[in-house]
Structure formats: C-alpha cells, structure tokens
C-alpha cells in the first residue's frame, strides 16, 4: 500500500510540474486551469495524509512555507557585477572599439532586453534547486530561496541532473502590477511606484506566502558556472539553460557586428511599450565565451558587456509648490512638488531643483507648467518652464532667510551656491546626521532606517549618535510597528556595530569633506581615533588624497569640545575606535609590478579617474609623479595623451594604455 501511495505522489508531482512547465515557461497549456487545480488538490490531500512521501520538487512548494525571522547573507561564488552604460550610438561604437582593441579581431555580439526587475542567482545541485539569492552589493546577497520557490517559472528540479548556477531577472508583469496596486488602493495602502519596486518588495518579504500571491516571473540571462558541460558562446548557453527547463527571453538576437547591435537597439525604442513587462534598455555581450575571458573585468563591471539605456523620457506637468529640506551639513535644498505624472514607468511627484540659483536661472514660478525628465534611477529633474502656457496666476518663489526647521539665520558661504544653516543644534541636521551614521557605508545598523530614526528623534530617545548605544528594550517596544522580534534584532545589530573598524565610525560621524574613501585612508594611516584627533593640518596634508580643505575640516571638527565629549562617550559605551582592516601594502612587502616604481599618468581615462588610478598604484607600493623624466619607470596613457607621451617615447620609457593597466590591477 505504501509503495502505491508513494508512486501516486511521484506521478502526480511529475505530471503537475510538466503541466506547469508548458504553461509558465513555454506558454503552451496542456490542460485547463480547472483540471490542473483538481489534480493539485488531489496531491495536497495525499501529502497531508502521507507527508513522508512528499517530493522536494512538489508544486505545493509554490504556495509558500513558514515565515522567516530574517534573511541570511550569501557570499556569491562569482561576483554579480553591474554593467557599464551606453546612452547613444557613439557610446556603443566606443564600446565596440575597446572590445576590438582588446581582442585584436571583430567579435559577434549577443543582444537581449534589459528587464526592469531584481537580479537573482539560482543554484542547483544534481538538478535540484538548493538556493536562490539577491544580487545585494554584488559580493554578498540575501538568501531568498523560499520566496523564489513561489515563482512558477523557476524549476524546482531541472530536466537534467545538472549542477549549475544561473543568473536571471525576477520581475512583475504589468498586468500583475496593476492588479496588485488596485488591491492596495482598495485597502487604503500605499501604492508601489513601479513594477521593479513591487518585484523587489515581494521577494524581500519574510513571509513567502505574500510573494506567492504576487504573480512574479523570471527570465534567465546567463550561466554562472556549470559542471560537466563546455559552453562556447553566450547564445549557446541560453539554448542550454532553456533545454534544462528555464525560461529565457525570446526577444534576443545574435549580431554579427556593432551595426547590427545598433539596429537592434533602435528597433526597440518605440516597441518597448507594447511588451507585457517593463524594460529599461538592451544588454549587449560579446558572444564568444573565450573572448569574454580574454577581455576580463574592471573592478566594477565586465569589459565584454554594456547596457544601452533608453533615452530619458520627458513629460509635462504642473509645479504645485517648492518644499525645503535641511541636510546633515545644514544645506537647504529646494524640491519641486509636482502634479503626479508617470515618467519612465514611475509615478513622479517630486523633482530636484538643486539650489536657488537654478530656480532663478530657469525662471521657475509656482503654478508653472514644466518639463521633467527621469533616466533610469536618476532623480527626476525640472528641464525647463513652458513660459507660453502661463496664465498670469503663477507666483514667484523666494528662498527664506531663516532655517525652515530651527528658524536660525541662513548664510551663504563664499564660493558656494547653497544656503546653509550653521546652527549645530538644528533638529533636521541632527536627524539627518543620525540617518547617515547608521547607513550601510557607515555603521551599517540593520533595522535603523529613516522611519525608526525619525520615531526615536520625535520621542526624544536620541539626540546624538551616542544615544543609539543607550537605547533600552522597553523604550523601543513602545514605538509604532516595533514588535519583540524586531526590537531584539535591532538591539543585536546596534551591539554588533560597536565592533566596526575605525573607518566606518569616521565616515559615520559626518565630518565635512570626508567621504568613505578618505575615512579609510585616515584610519589606515593613523590607526586610532586618538591619533587623528591630535593630528595637525600639516600632518594630514602630508597624506595622499588629503588636501588642505579636508585637513582643515578634520582639525576644526575634532577641536570642538562637544565632539571631544562625544568621542569619549562612544569609547565608554564600548564602541571600537581602532582600525581593524588590512594595512596598506608597503613597497618592501608588495609583490606587485608597481612596487618601488615611479609612474606618470597622462590623458583621459575611461574606466576610472586618475585619482583612483593613483590610489591603486600607491596601494601597490608605487609612486605617482606629474612629469616624465629619466627616473620614470612607466607612463600610463589615456585618451588624448599629449606631450608627456611623446617625451616618454623619446626616452624609451615603458608605455601602457588603460586596458593594460586595468589588466595589471586585476591580477
């Protein structure tokens, strides 16, 4: 009897999975919805009565399991890098020129639609789905396996027992997006701005049952790695994953040259609105995998791929008002409040105005009809005013003379266009400073987002960053939408942040002109916050990357009595103030090509700034000078290199182009 039941469960599982594959992947239904549901209910009954016979790839897994307490982190075996961008035909031809220069021959390309969703990676062992994760920062993502199992087009078991990792774009079809927002509107809930946000929000729900209701889909676009199979090209890889049962996008093309690529990109400019899902461009990849290996990667993106981004969409709407906000450095920024309008798939109600000078330059008045544009993730901006549409009822706008938050007098520092509140007790600056302190690049305290910080501030539980380390459980439980589990996780994250290396704390303090990179440079050089506090302007300026303005700002910051008190308080609360990271590689220790060498940079670099290149060389034990001489060991020549290149050639000095330099960086 037992074997009969087990066989029946297996047969139903295989049959239903085959029906689902034909319905969701091939779009070729084999049976009616009613017949499928009837068989699924039969399987559920058997699984409930005989749970020991339930298969790992059972279609009932699509319903969603037990909610998680939190997502766990996943280290990607192969980084999920972002793509460089191309915005026009000239950019595409430049990309092709760099590729041909790197390969020494003309390649063919694979072009596919750039789906506007959430990049994910899927791992299978012997054909069984074992893990799915978000892209995250490209190196570390979040495990969302249970949520991904609810997407019907993701196979729980492959059609061959292959061990493979694939990457894809999970998305919400337009129809599902509209239905979801209609439900939210009926329930009086905030609407999703666009399908991409809806997809990302659905897959980052701790309760998989919510994701299961959102009707998500996926297209697989690449193979990370695969055991036992040799793939020669990208388009062959797409064919291979399709054979395994994955859903791929049919709107892709193998192009012989860049002219065919450009024609393919242009062909979608007007057709994209007809698709049942959102796209925001075209992805172009060198097709031959051996060519991809030759070209390699920069620190941020593959050299063998780029994304053609569609031109920014411009629309007309009404500027209703101008709202002012005060940032953590006291800068008062005007923002246009607009009559809601859809731009590039997003409902826009706000747009950047930058500063008072821009408002005057564009002659912007309240009530004006304005053109706004938004490209990709760029903040919408006001392009111009439609003066001919004015009715005479428009009103002039004048920036205030007092801070909108604390009523202190606003000043304009010489050489700056921004108005600034210089009151250190300004509540807006304190609140924004706290939000910055807990952000990812600073102390990275999970659970302390803008909403929670605002609540803490409004309830007078925090006045400075030290107060975050004094928060008590009972205080947090009284806040809105803060349950016991959330509070426990938050306190744990706050406690863990005490162990952060010094550069995180330095950046979090929000010292003017000190970004994340400069904070790390300071931490590496001085190793303790005490030594930084004692450093003179001259000592600071002697460090590469630290200019006079930054040095002066650092000294002025640490001279303030309230800052001295804050640092002492943080120490007493157990916050680490020492550098814990790796020390810069010394010339003697470095095995790099650059150790002990004198390098000159000239011309325009495309893949990094000359400042970044200087940092990379110095970190490997080299030194960078501004002029070519007989003591120069290497000249790195970017585009439009001039007299320095000629002098290096005359002196017989080793010369590299940018591609060769990047290649050395990646060793």
User: Which residue would you say has higher pLDDT here, 491 or 45?
Assistant: 491
Averaging pLDDT over each range in 40-44, 125-129, 270-274, 642-646, which range is the top one? 125-129
Query: What is the fold, at CATH topology level, of the domain defined by 598-665?
Result: Rossmann fold (3.40.50)
Domain range list for the chain: 2-53, 84-309, 315-423, 427-497, 502-572, 598-665
Contact criterion met (CB below 8 Å) for 471 and 447: no
For residue 586, pLDDT over 70 is answered with no
Mean pLDDT throughout 494-510?
93
Nearest 5 degrees, angle CA 8-CA 12-CA 16? 175
Query: Please, which pLDDT band fits residue 111 given cuts at 50, 70 and 90?
Result: very high
Averaging pLDDT over each range in 45-59, 304-318, 605-619, which range is the top one? 304-318
For residue 587, pLDDT over 50 is answered with no
Q: List beta partners, residue 133.
A: 121, 143
Contact criterion met (CB below 8 Å) for 281 and 252: no
Classify residue 666 by its DSSP letter. Answer: T
Cα 138 from chain centroid (whole Å): 8
Please report the pLDDT score of residue 377 as a whole number: 47
Q: List beta partners, residue 112.
A: 252, 283
Q: Does domain 427-497 have CATH number 1.10.150.20?
A: yes
Mean pLDDT throughout 438-454?
88
Phi and psi of 467, rounded to 5°? Answer: -65, -25
User: Rounded distance, CA 537 to CA 557, Å?
Assistant: 12
What token pair was written down for 329?
Answer: 């450095």
User: Rounded distance, CA 476 to CA 353, Å?
Assistant: 37
Phi and psi of 533, rounded to 5°? Answer: -60, -30
Task: Please tell me the pTM assigned to this model.
Answer: 0.53
Cβ-Cβ contacts under 8 Å for 304 (sequence gap 6 or more): 99, 285, 286, 291, 292, 295, 296
Least reliable range by pLDDT among 265-279, 588-602, 632-646: 588-602
Please report the pLDDT score of residue 589 as a whole number: 46
User: Rounded distance, CA 377 to CA 346, Å?
Assistant: 10
- Tell me which residues are annotated as active site: 114
Please report the pLDDT score of residue 584 as a whole number: 61
Closest of 40, 35, 25, 32 to residue 155, by C-alpha: 25
CB burial of 91-104 (b: ≥16 within 10 Å; e: otherwise) equals: ebebbbebbeebbe
Closest of 531, 554, 558, 530 to residue 541, by C-alpha: 554
Neighbours of 7 (CB within 10 A): 11
Largest CA distance in the chain: 90
How far, CA to CA in Å, does 576 sit from each of 351, 466, 519, 570, 601?
40, 13, 15, 8, 38
Domain 427-497 matches domain 502-572 at the CATH topology level:
yes
Mean pLDDT throughout 351-372?
89
Q: What is the 3-class SS of 482-537, one letter each residue?
A: CCHHHHHHHHHHHHHHCCCCHHHHHHHCCCCCCCHHHHHHHHHHHCEHHHHHHCCH
User: Rounded distance, CA 284 to CA 620, Å?
Assistant: 33
For residue 508, pLDDT over 70 is answered with yes
Closest of 165, 179, 273, 176 to residue 223, by C-alpha: 165
Looking at every residue in the chain, the average pLDDT score rounds to 86
Architecture of domain 2-53: Orthogonal Bundle (1.10)
Closest of 465, 460, 473 to residue 442, by C-alpha: 465
User: Rounded distance, CA 496 to CA 475, Å?
Assistant: 19
Q: Does domain 315-423 have CATH number 3.40.50.2000?
A: no
For residue 531, pLDDT over 50 is answered with yes
Query: Please, which pLDDT band fits residue 345 given cuts at 50, 70 and 90?
Result: low
What token pair was written down for 513?
Answer: 């002109």
User: Rounded distance, CA 89 to CA 266, Å?
Assistant: 9
Contact criterion met (CB below 8 Å) for 594 and 620: yes
Mean pLDDT throughout 62-72?
66
User: Which residue would you say has higher pLDDT here, 659 or 316?
Assistant: 316
User: Rounded distance, CA 154 to CA 219, Å?
Assistant: 9
User: Rounded distance, CA 166 to CA 535, Å?
Assistant: 51
Averaging pLDDT over each range in 501-505, 577-581, 600-604, which range is the top one? 501-505
Contact criterion met (CB below 8 Å) for 336 and 322: yes
Query: Please, which pLDDT band fits residue 303 given cuts at 50, 70 and 90?
Result: very high
Per residue in 251-275, pLDDT (tens digit) is: 999 999 999 999 999 999 878 878 8
Architecture of domain 502-572: Orthogonal Bundle (1.10)
Architecture of domain 84-309: 2-Layer Sandwich (3.30)
């Amino acid at each position: 009897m037992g074997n009969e039941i087990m066989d029946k469960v297996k047969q139903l599982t295989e049959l239903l999975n085959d029906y689902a594959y034909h319905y969701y992947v091939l779009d070729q239904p084999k049976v009616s919805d009613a017949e499928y549901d009837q068989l699924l209910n039969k399987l559920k009954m058997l699984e409930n009565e005989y749970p020991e016979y339930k298969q790992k790839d059972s279609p009932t897994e699509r319903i969603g399991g037990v909610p998680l307490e939190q997502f766990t982190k996943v280290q990607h075996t192969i980084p999920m890098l972002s793509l460089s961008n191309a915005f026009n035909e000239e950019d595409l031809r430049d990309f092709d020129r760099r590729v041909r220069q790197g390969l020494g021959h003309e390649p063919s390309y694979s072009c596919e639609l750039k789906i506007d969703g959430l990049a994910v990676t899927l791992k299978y062992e012997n054909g069984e789905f074992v893990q799915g994760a978000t892209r995250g920062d490209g190196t570390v993502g979040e495990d969302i396996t249970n949520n991904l199992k609810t997407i019907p087009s993701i196979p729980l078991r492959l059609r061959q027992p292959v061990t493979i990792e694939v990457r894809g774009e999970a998305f919400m079809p337009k129809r599902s997006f509209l239905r979801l927002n209609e439900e939210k509107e009926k329930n009086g809930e905030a609407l999703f701005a666009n399908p991409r946000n809806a997809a990302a929000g659905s897959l980052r729900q701790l309760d998989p049952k919510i994701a299961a209701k959102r009707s998500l889909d996926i297209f697989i676009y690449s193979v990370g790695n695969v055991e036992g199979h040799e793939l020669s090209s990208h388009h062959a890889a797409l064919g291979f994953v399709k054979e395994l049962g994955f859903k791929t996008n049919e709107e892709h093309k193998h192009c012989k040259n860049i002219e065919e690529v450009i024609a393919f990109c242009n062909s979608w400019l007007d057709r994209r609105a007809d698709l049942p899902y959102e796209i925001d461009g075209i992805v172009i990849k060198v097709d031959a995998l051996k060519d991809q290996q030759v070209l390699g990667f920069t620190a941020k993106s593959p050299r063998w791929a780029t994304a053609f981004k569609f031109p920014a969409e411009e629309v007309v709407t009404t500027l209703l008002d101008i709202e002012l906000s005060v940032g953590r450095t006291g800068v008062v920024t005007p923002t246009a409040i607009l009559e809601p309008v859809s731009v590039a798939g997003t409902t826009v109600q706000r747009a950047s105005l930058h500063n008072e000078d821009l408002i005057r330059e564009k002659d912007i008045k309240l009530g004006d009809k304005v053109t706004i544009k938004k490209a990709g993730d760029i903040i919408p901006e006001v392009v111009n005013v439609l003066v001919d549409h004015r009715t005479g009822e428009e009103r002039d706008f004048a920036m205030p003379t007092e801070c909108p938050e604390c009523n202190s007098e606003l000043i304009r520092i010489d050489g700056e266009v921004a108005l600034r509140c210089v009151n250190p007790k300004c509540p807006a600056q304190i609140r924004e400073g706290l939000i910055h302190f807990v952000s990812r690049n600073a102390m990275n305290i999970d659970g302390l987002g803008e909403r929670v910080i605002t609540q803490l501030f409004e309830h007078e539980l925090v006045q400075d960053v030290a107060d975050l380390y004094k928060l008590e459980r009972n205080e947090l439980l009284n806040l809105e939408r803060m349950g016991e589990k959330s509070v426990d996780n938050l306190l744990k994250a706050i406690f863990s942040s005490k162990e952060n290396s010094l550069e995180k704390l330095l950046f979090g303090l929000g010292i003017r002109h000190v970004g994340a990179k400069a904070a790390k440079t300071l931490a590496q050089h001085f190793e303790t916050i005490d030594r930084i506090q004692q450093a003179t302007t001259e000592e600071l300026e002697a460090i590469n990357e630290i200019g006079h303005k930054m040095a002066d700002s650092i000294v002025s910051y640490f001279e303030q009595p309230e800052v001295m008190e804050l640092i002492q308080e943080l120490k007493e609360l157990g916050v680490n103030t020492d550098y814990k990271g790796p020390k810069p590689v010394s010339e003697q220790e470095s095995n790099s090509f650059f150790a002990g060498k004198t390098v000159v940079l000239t011309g325009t670099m495309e893949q990094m700034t000359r400042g970044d290149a200087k940092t990379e060389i110095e970190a490997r034990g080299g030194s960078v000078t501004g002029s070519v001489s007989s003591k120069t060991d290497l000249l790195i020549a970017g585009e439009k290199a001039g007299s320095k290149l000629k002098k290096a050639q005359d002196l017989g000095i080793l010369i590299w182009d940018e591609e060769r330099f990047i290649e050395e960086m990646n060793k």
